[in-house]
Chains A and B, each alone.
Chain A
Amino acid sequence: MLSRTADNLYWLSRYVERAEYLARILDTTQRLSALPLAYVGSSNEWESAVLTAGCATGFFKLYDEANEENVTDYLAFSTANSSSIRSCFEAARHNARAVRTALTMEMWDAINGTWLELKRYGNGPTSREEMSRFLRWVQESSLRYDGSAYRTMLRSDAYWFSRLGVYMERADNTARILDIKYHLLLPDNERVGGPLDYFQWSAILRSVSALTAYHWVYRDSLKPWLVADLLILKDELPRSLSSCYEAIVRNLDQISGAYGRQGPAQRQARGLRTRLQNSKMDGIFQRGLHEFISEFITENTRLGGAITEQFLI
């Protein structure tokens, strides 16, 4: 297939996945900010949302203060932010239009329908209630796109590239959320697992839709190292780094199987996957979680570069 087509499919998936991630961040932040201060321990959850979304620099160029109104506008509706939910959906639809022939009718319908519906929200909902509805809609749109891709696409390279996009983006998102939140929540001199941060931990889990999963896997109350264990090493959790890499390796293998040759992307992905498989939480904490995660993000970005280099240009 054309490199550009593969590239468009890959980014189409990434944009949709990113929009969903942003919606989850906004959703959990809204929840946190509704709690009395005594339960949350800090009042800067909107700033933390901007950090988690990875767009603090751009944000503070436009706004002085990270409050609900500014952050919601920037992350969800701003056209100045190339990674806002709106921009993501617009970019997704732009990519979809460029590869109409590689999409099934159902996928096109999902993306085009989302884009048409987006217009109805104008410059954003006016009430919290409406905002919740909007965020739910974003997540549903992403599910719909993902589901129609999964259920209707031919199992060929187009499908594998589109899946690669989903998992590369997801791995990046999960790593970022862990890194930033963990950083904020674990000041060196404070006791881990203190009474205040229960809601913060549950917020992290919620933003990767893993709160229920946590209880099923550990049957334990929220503990920071278990949260990290779940999001990094547990294959069972669809958004864990480990599970994302299982999928990345699998899809790259499908591609190399079909094309009859391996390349740097396959080797790098397998290397990273093996490292995750051989890691234990103790070891990660000893070396430093932050170091582990930043290294992972760098490696993940490098793999993205290798995929682009090998297939997409």
Chain B
Amino acid sequence: MPAAFDEMKGHDGDEIRPAYAELGRWLKEVPADVLDYRRREAELIFRRIGITFAVYGEADATERLIPFDVIPRIMSGSEWRLLEKGLTQRVTALNMFIKDVYGAREILKAGVVPEDLVFRNPAFRPEMNGQRVPHDIYVHIAGIDIIRVDADTFYVLEDNARTPSGVSYMLENREIMMRLFPELFSRHRIAPVENYPDELLRSLKSVAPLSTPREPTVVLLTPGVFNSAYYEHSFLADKLGVELVEGRDLFVKDEIVYMRTTQGPQRVDVIYRRVDDDFIDPLTFRPDSILGVPGLMSAYTAGNVTLANAVGTGIADDKAVYSFMPAIVKFYLGEEPLLKNVPTWRCREEEHLKYVLDHLPELVVKEVHGSGGYGMLIGPTASKIAIEQFRAKLKADPTNFIAQPTLALSTSPTCVEEGVAPRHVDLRPFVLTGRNGVKIVPGGLTRVAMKKGSLVVNSSQGGGTKDTWVLDG
């Protein structure tokens, strides 16, 4: 594995890169115990506000804090502009792809993406065939996971086109940083992120059913307090000024969605749903779901309510489809993709599988539909036994896996036990698409692997977060 690129000190490590210059000076001035004190203060605030998340499968830890690192991750304006362009391009292509897959299927006819990859995909929703959505927007909110390997190379690691989470951390991290380090803010010019909820609301309203005669009523649909991202749902509903509803708060009558209020039924036009496709309507999808709203799909297909994101977007963020993204971008936009894809071996293809099986110790192998860092193998750090166990799993069901080279994620200075040391980071910017185009708030959520050498940044695996600064100019 090549040495990681450090975002503060570059590859060689003796010169501080310009974006980090001021922070570097500040880190030299500030005593270590002050950093530590502020770190503890931040934790106290987080606990007090109740910004917690649940980890599935841990009995005692129904509510846990995500570690917060007080040292910001910094990008220059020009670096950001590069990313912004690439993200806009990618999400535009994602939307065109989904429209095509449930519509004319040009891309399948042209043989760019294999048919069975789409039709035999569990994320493919036949219910959406021929279904138009307002302004042809399917992915209203995308979270694109980006990693960086050197000064000007960014890779997309994953597209999240279903119900990406984490944006509340982006917003809260900034609030906390401004509270704890006002002096640091006075020494930088940092692009704001606080307008994200406004932009989100504007996007959501812009995609209301075309027939909506009045100011559209928007709600946020949550699975409930036991969901790992519940805090985020309530946080966003609050910032958006919309009702936070659960399935039982909504009902459908004559293909129209209503919420139960203290003043009787009120019509709902746009649902920002944080409930997966499988659970939104027990009449159409999983009959055992109690999180959804019976009949919601009938109202949806009748065009009486907008769901954001649309049903069936999972077809675009599947990890096997991911490997076709460069071709997808080229097919719809006729442009070269600005953001690179990590080279990906699709284990469903015999040659690829053979390569993967021969090179397991150096690869990262993931489940096609997995998320949250569950069920993956990181070859270089895995034990021999783990690799052999994984090999058996892989052989049993190769279509379920893809493999990628182990990339040296860039590092960023992080406050850890032994002081300030480099730790691997990734970045999840949030891309909003509405009637008036694509909008990205500068920055996103930086996730950091708190353990030395670790490449797993997922919060469910002990990863932390940082505030992400995009500098002016």
Assembled-state Cα–Cα distance A6/B260 (Å): 11
Q: In whole Å, how far is B246's beta carbon from the nearest beta carbon of chain A?
A: 7
* A172 at interface by CB-CB < 8 Å: no
Question: Which of A2, A97, A100 meets B261, CB within 8 Å?
Answer: A2
Cβ–Cβ contact B260 & A112, under 8 A: no
- A313 and B225 in contact, given A108-B50, A116-B47 (Cβ under 8 angstroms): no
Q: Which residue of B lies closest to A112 (CB)?
A: B50
Binary per-residue interface labels of chain B (233-269) against chain A in the complex, 1 for a CB within 8 Å, 0 otherwise = 0110110000111101100000000011111000000
Binary per-residue interface labels of chain A (271-313) against chain B in the complex, 1 for a CB within 8 Å, 0 otherwise = 0000000000000000000000000000000000000000111
* A1 at interface by CB-CB < 8 Å: yes
Assembled-state Cα–Cα distance A97/B263 (Å): 23
Cβ–Cβ contact A3 & B249, under 8 A: yes
- A101 and B262 in contact, given A4-B249, A109-B48, A113-B48 (Cβ under 8 angstroms): no
Cβ–Cβ contact A97 & B230, under 8 A: yes
Question: Which of B50, B224, B230, B262 meets A1, CB within 8 Å?
Answer: B262
Q: Count of chain B residues with Cβ under 8 Å from any Cβ of A?
A: 23
- For chain A, give the interface size range: 20 to 34
Assembled-state Cα–Cα distance A98/B231 (Å): 9
* A47 at interface by CB-CB < 8 Å: no
Question: Which of B234, B246, B249, B262 meets A311, CB within 8 Å?
Answer: B262
Cβ–Cβ contact B237 & A2, under 8 A: no
Cβ–Cβ contact A6 & B262, under 8 A: yes
* A157 at interface by CB-CB < 8 Å: yes
Cβ–Cβ contact A97 & B262, under 8 A: no
Q: In whole Å, how far is B252's beta carbon from the nearest beta carbon of chain A?
A: 16
Q: Which residues of A have CB within 8 Å of B48?
A: 109, 112-113
Assembled-state Cα–Cα distance A14/B148 (Å): 53
Q: Can you give 14 A-B contacts (C-beta < 8 A)?
A: A1-B243, A2-B259, A3-B249, A3-B262, A4-B246, A100-B234, A100-B235, A100-B238, A100-B244, A157-B262, A161-B262, A259-B263, A311-B262, A312-B262
Q: In whole Å, how far is A6's beta carbon from the nearest beta carbon of chain B?
A: 5
Assembled-state Cα–Cα distance A42/B304 (Å): 69
* A234 at interface by CB-CB < 8 Å: no
* A255-280 interface (Cβ within 8 A of B): 255, 259
Counting from the closest, the 10 A-B pairs by CB-CB distance are A100-B234, A101-B238, A311-B262, A3-B260, A6-B262, A101-B237, A259-B263, A2-B243, A97-B225, A4-B249
Assembled-state Cα–Cα distance A101/B231 (Å): 10
* A94 at interface by CB-CB < 8 Å: yes
Question: Which of B49, B235, B249 meets A2, CB within 8 Å?
Answer: B249
- A3 and B47 in contact, given A97-B225, A101-B244 (Cβ under 8 angstroms): no
Instruction: Pick the most buried of B244, B246, B249: most chain A CB atoms within 10 A of its CB.
Output: B244
Q: In whole Å, how far is B444's beta carbon from the nearest beta carbon of chain A?
A: 24
Q: Which residue of A lies closest to B246 (CB)?
A: A4
Instruction: Pick the most buried of B50, B224, B230, B262: most chain A CB atoms within 10 A of its CB.
Output: B262
Question: Which of A2, A100, A108 meets B260, CB within 8 Å?
Answer: A2
Q: Which residues of B have CB within 8 Å of A6?
A: 262
Cβ–Cβ contact B248 & A4, under 8 A: yes
- A313 and B260 in contact, given A2-B243, A100-B238 (Cβ under 8 angstroms): yes
Binary per-residue interface labels of chain B (196-240) against chain A in the complex, 1 for a CB within 8 Å, 0 otherwise = 000000000000000000000000000011000011001101100
Q: In whole Å, how far is A158's beta carbon from the nearest beta carbon of chain B?
A: 10
Cβ–Cβ contact A1 & B234, under 8 A: no
Binary per-residue interface labels of chain B (42-54) against chain A in the complex, 1 for a CB within 8 Å, 0 otherwise = 0000011110000
Assembled-state Cα–Cα distance A157/B262 (Å): 9
Q: Which residue of A lies closest to B245 (CB)?
A: A2
Q: Which residue of B lies closest to A311 (CB)?
A: B262
Binary per-residue interface labels of chain A (1-27) against chain B in the complex, 1 for a CB within 8 Å, 0 otherwise = 111111000000000000000000000
Q: In whole Å, how far is B362's beta carbon from the nearest beta carbon of chain A?
A: 45
- A94 and B261 in contact, given A4-B249, A101-B234, A109-B48 (Cβ under 8 angstroms): no
